[in-house]
Amino acid sequence: MLSKAPKYAAILFALSVLAPSPEVNAARNLIRGEVANAISQDDEYIREGSQRIVRVRGENLDNIHSIASRQFVSKVEEEIKSPGANLSISGFETSVRFEDGRFVFEYKVQLNPAKNPDEVHTMISMRGTVWSGSGARDRVLHENSNKIPQWQQRMITFYPDMKISYELAQSDNSAPNGFRIFHEAVLAKGVRIQ
């Protein structure tokens, strides 16, 4: 089972590099509304001190991967772009497991007050792949070896006014029937160049 990027990710990414306009803002709000509607009552965005956790449960690994990715980026972006937030992103983690008959997908990150303006993150993006089954780890690593460098190059092109850094997170756990679930994600976080 292969999980691809969320279907709205490319649209959101394209809209994020366009100059703000009423049409772009309306499209962003529509997509964010669809993301919010896709989140069930069983999905969570948890704030524990400086830690932020997105937790999504479901029977379809691809579906919960898409929902968790969208919710995570959307919620963290909302916080770091809040007026006067001045936050720094660190400690990126991912976890995917099978429990009580369902998959559980989590992303975790720390949002801390930035020590100086050169550490204030105002951009976040993420790419990753999840597989469940035989050879899951090898499949994820192979796909990401192509996908991640291309995405990183596009980030540099689309955000020339940003100093971008990356964090890698992996999760390797057991799935039904003795199969493995492997997930690898790369988080991009940007600091505006002064």
The domain of 154 spans 2-192
Mean pLDDT of 39-54: 83
pLDDT at 10: 40
Please write the tens of the pLDDT for every residue from 3-21: 333 333 444 444 444 445 5
Domain count, the chain: 1
pLDDT at 41: 45
Place of tokens 């790369």: 186
pLDDT at 126: 97
pLDDT at 8: 38
